[in-house]
A and B are shown apart, each in its own frame.
Chain A
């Protein structure tokens, strides 16, 4: 069965600093991996997804993630944090049939001015 683990439920960075949010997956076959962002009192929005086309995936708002099979990781990064990046971030993996999605417990990102 697929699952994801997000290390760090809360991450704080200074404005302009590197953002690194960690996600490790568990899957017996090549997975489909996603990062979603949730702003306060809103639903989840897709940031980016990995579907085996390229190991480095670029998403919206300057975010990117690198799929590393040897480390079973899919960490999310952004070179320079902006105040508007403050939100909850979720890593997810879909089942091989594509009919179920498994989400991590989320990482709350705080950006300090």
Chain B
């Protein structure tokens, strides 16, 4: 089972460039999430989606946009990358409802120079 797949795994961007991170899940999960992980700060929620066509802001949404055009995909966009967005990005998904496990992808390492 593929589970949650993220692409690309590594990327180096110049300040001001744009890019999109793609997340795909094959578990038919309703909920999908994008987190960033920084040393000493744990995981912080950027945006999430509770279903196809819906998105919502998390703790740190500034500088990012997302789209969920298909149930299995959740895209994270950086319109104008900044060095502060250098981080490891994790996509995750879960079934709707309470108490469900959240499943993570392998991560995408992004460096903005």
Does chain A bind chain B? yes
Question: Which residues of A come within 8 Å of B, CB atoms?
Answer: 9, 32, 34, 36, 41-46, 49, 51, 90, 92, 94, 96-106
CA distance A41 to B96 in the complex (A): 28
Residues of B at the A interface (CB closer than 8 Å) are 4, 31, 33, 35, 40-45, 48, 50, 58, 90, 92, 94, 96-107
CB pair B33–A101 under 8 Å, yes or no, is yes
Q: Which residues of A contact B107 (CB under 8 A)?
A: 41-43
A98 lies within 8 A of B96 (CB): yes
Q: How far is the CA of A65 from the CA of B107 in the complex (A)?
A: 27
Of A32, A90, A98, the contact of B42 (CB 8 Å cutoff): A90
Q: Are B101 and A43 in contact (CB under 8 A)?
A: no
Can you name the residue of chain A whose Cβ is closest to the Cβ of B103?
A46
